[in-house]
Amino acid sequence: MASLPSDFAGQIDAYLDYLASQRRASAHTLTNYRRELRRLVELADPAGPDDITAPRIRAMAGRLHAGGLAPRSVARALSAWRGFFRWRVRLHGAAINPVEGIRPPKAPRPLPKSLGPDAVGQLLDASPDDELEIRDRAMFELLYSSGMRLAEMLSIDLDARLDLAAGEATVTGKRGKTRVVPIGRAAVDALQAWLPVRAQLVPAQERALFVTRTGSRMSQAAVRGRLNRWVQRHGQGAHVHPHMLRHSFASHVLQSSGDLRAVQEMLGHASIQSTQVYTHLDFQHLAKVYDSAHPRARKGK
């Protein structure tokens, strides 16, 4: 068993040499590991590697996070430290790896991006310029009106799953779960404008609700491209993707109704936790209202 340098920095250099010669680590990887391991030496000072325990590793990770290091960056540091101590255990007889089982702090879940009601209105109230834009408007109205996923919308065929008279559609979501989603008046009107155009494009055997110029079923990439084109022509130039219309549906329904369970059912979420993210969006909306309306909240008043 190879002997190790007695000093901490020397052991770090030996480990990096091992990564370069035995593991063929890239220069980029070596640079990152050197930075993170130097950080370890600084945080542990004056202790050496044999003095570092799991509680101490947790404390050092906590210091990094409290100092403003993002959870992902803390995770990267822990990964480098774990590899170093694993090398000491496997090849040099060290007793323990104090980083095993240490988890980084959880990254905050990013809030889904949504559009405000006025922005959605500006986007969808624009008049189509040609037959394909009649289709596009119907697609976007349907996504916003129902909150369905893009894949769910594109799987809809002209059969009993689409009932414009009742204002609803039956879709199959994740894990094959089927649910009924609402279709609002604006979406029904847009679909009724699209159906005669569709009939001129498709062969009799094609059942897809939304088709391309050549009569084949629309792809997700095609919808994204058409939405980007629509936004550039009729919106404010901001980036909008199809899932933002689903997020906007959820946020606006929750703001108006406060019924989290109903929104969960309409979105097809298996867990209420997936839907609860929209309560944060709702709170942001309420906070803005408060800041602009409450006499003791307005700055400079």
Active-site amino acid positions:
149, 174, 243, 246, 269, 278
For every residue of 202-233, DSSP letters joined together read: S-TT--BSSB-TTSSBPPHHHHHHHHHHHHHH
| CA pair distance 187, 245, nearest whole angstrom | 13
Q: How many of the other CB atoms lie within 10 Å of CB of 12?
A: 19
| CA pair distance 41, 65, nearest whole angstrom | 17
Do 174 and 239 contact (CB within 8 A), yes or no?
no
| CA pair distance 292, 45, nearest whole angstrom | 50
- Residue 157 DSSP class: B
Do 140 and 245 contact (CB within 8 A), yes or no?
yes
Residue type, 260: L
H or E segment and range at residue 182: strand 178-182
Do 111 and 277 contact (CB within 8 A), yes or no?
yes
